[in-house]
Homo-oligomer: A and B are copies of this chain.
Amino acid sequence: MWYYPDPSPGLDIPEVNAAVEEAFAEHARGHVQMPPKVYITFDTGDFRTMPAYIPSLGIAGVKIVNVHPANPLQHIPTVMALLVILDPATGTPVAILNATGLTDLRTGASGAIAAKYLAPSRTVTLGLVGSGRQAAAQVDAIAAELEITRLRVWSRTEKHAALFCRRYAAMDCSTATLKQVCACDVIVTTTPSREPVILSEWVAEGTHINAIGADAPGKQELDPGLLTRARVFVDDPPQAIHSGEINVPIEKGLFSPEQIAGTIGEVVLGRKKRESHGEITIFDSTGLAIQDLAIAGIAMKNRNRVMLEFP
């Protein structure tokens, strides 16, 4: 059994995006096993257990990931993750991966695949709501699929947005108001908000939005009125209904599961698509265990690993 202490640096982003795209396609074909995430809750956070199996990639395992929002006060990351990989043929544990960095990569990849298929054009302006690790992962991954001509960044803390723009200066990056961010062709939201941050009236026809931040009951970033104006795609319907962008509007009776336009896997397979230049599309990403497994298959080529005695 191998332990991979830091398998994410140096991974090839186009390869990562392609692996996640293939996992979504297998999901839409009904060829994966992925039971719902299981939550354990603590006073200060929670952890989620996410087992899955992708037969076509010959990979099975479990992601274990926590969310403890007060951790940064102790200089500990809010989110940390491990992946345990098993050999499907014998059940033998073959690898354990530090999956904290991989989690950013796989979430970036899901946004990139959604933007690749649903953005109004191949050349886009990109607006970011939130400027943390997830925002950077989205830009890096989307840049491998589309040409980004301009970046507009809003953060609750303007200094953070300015620092972000310094890092992405090559992409004509500037800080902006929420309204200016919403004038971009593609918008990515990555905040932990529990109230809508984006108003429907700010969003023009033809925009594509990756709604990344909402990943637990009670979280939301978009005006519910925007959801009903748009076609909403999800990664996994039960998970999105439980904890994605649509969870609060569904709870309040402002959106219904029947209004989901389809899954990202169906989009990848061409069964569903953007149907007009003017339509607003939204991708509600909650994060699937099969994304992590698909990336693990690549990350395990890393030579920085430690042999562990087992059994």
Contacts and interface: CB of A to CB of B under 8 A. Distances in A.
Contacts of A66: 86, 90-92
Interface stretch (A68-76, A118-126, A178-186): A68-76
A201 interface: no
Interface string A235-270: 000000000000000000000000000000000000
A105 interface: no
B80 A64 contact: no
Contact of A44 (B6, B39, B71, B90): B90
A269 B91 CA distance: 37
A308 B5 contact: yes
A271 to B, nearest CB: 26
Contact of A92 (B43, B52, B76, B84): B76
A236 to B, nearest CB: 15
A93 interface: yes
Nearest to A65: B91
B47 A86 contact: yes
Nearest to A76: B90
A309 B6 CA distance: 9
A68 B44 contact: no
Contacts of A39: 35
B49 A88 contact: no
A308 B311 contact: no
Interface of A: 3, 5-6, 33, 35, 38-47, 49, 51-53, 60, 62, 64, 66-68, 71, 74, 76-77, 80, 82, 84, 86, 88-93, 96, 98, 100, 306, 308-311
A51 B38 contact: yes
Residue in A41, A42, A71, A92 with the greatest tally of chain B CB atoms within 10 Å:
A42
Contacts of A42: 53, 60, 88-89, 91
Nearest to A5: B309
Given A6-B309, A33-B41, A68 B90 contact: yes
Given A64-B62, A90-B68, A93-B64, A5 B40 contact: no
A219 to B, nearest CB: 18
Contact of A51 (B5, B40, B96, B306): B40
Nearest to A91: B66
Nearest to A80: B311
22 contacts: A5-B308, A38-B51, A42-B88, A42-B89, A42-B91, A45-B90, A47-B60, A47-B86, A49-B49, A49-B62, A62-B62, A66-B86, A68-B89, A68-B91, A76-B90, A80-B93, A82-B84, A82-B93, A98-B310, A100-B311, A306-B306, A306-B308
